[in-house]
Amino acid sequence: MMENIIERLQKSVKLSDIKKQRKDLYFVTADKDQAISAVTYLRDYEGFSHLVMMSVVDRIEDGQFEINYVLHNHEMHADLTVQTRISREDASMQSAHHLWNQVWTYQREFKEMYGIDFPGSPRVDENFLLEGWSEMPPMRRDFDTLKYSEDTFFPREGRKSHDPATYMKQKLYPNE
């Protein structure tokens, strides 16, 4: 059944990769300019009406972000994920907010946390979680959390650091 759906999808969208995880879970990869067409086709013609979630993977080694649209078909009890890759340098992707109401929330978060732009998406340029943030987007793998923490926060007096194994041994067996 899923194979038939993917075969029909391939007639309208060029897929570069197809992975079967289980009989009810597939991953397909489409080019950046065809990903929204793939998602739209699956929603409108194949019953994948539920957007389960969207996610981003920072593929820093490849200089790309991978955006995943996880879709669910309630009648088939099946999930299909449409994956696409975009450049980290010019991180911009066509918006899908017109397909599901909640998409603009994901896109707003991805803009703030990864620096991925979704032109035309509602409120995409407004602060979402990080009011006044001017640093590199914090979910990018090249964001230095240790440096940011050391530069931003001050050490508190009286705070001690313990080796967990030694500390627990002392707590559990104080007389040894």
Range of the domain at 68: 2-155
Question: What's the structural domain count of the chain?
Answer: 1
| Residue 176 falls inside a structural domain | no
105 burial (CB, 10 Å; 0-12 / 13-18 / 19+) is middle
| Residue 170 falls inside a structural domain | no
**Up-side HSE of residue 148: CA atoms within 13 Å toward CB?**
11
The fraction of the chain above a pLDDT of 70, given in percent, is 98
| Residue 46 falls inside a structural domain | yes
What tokens does 37 get? 């067409």
Rounded to two decimals, the pTM is 0.85
Q: What is the CATH number of the domain that holds 150?
A: 3.30.460.80
pLDDT for 114-133, tens place per residue? 999 999 999 998 888 899 89
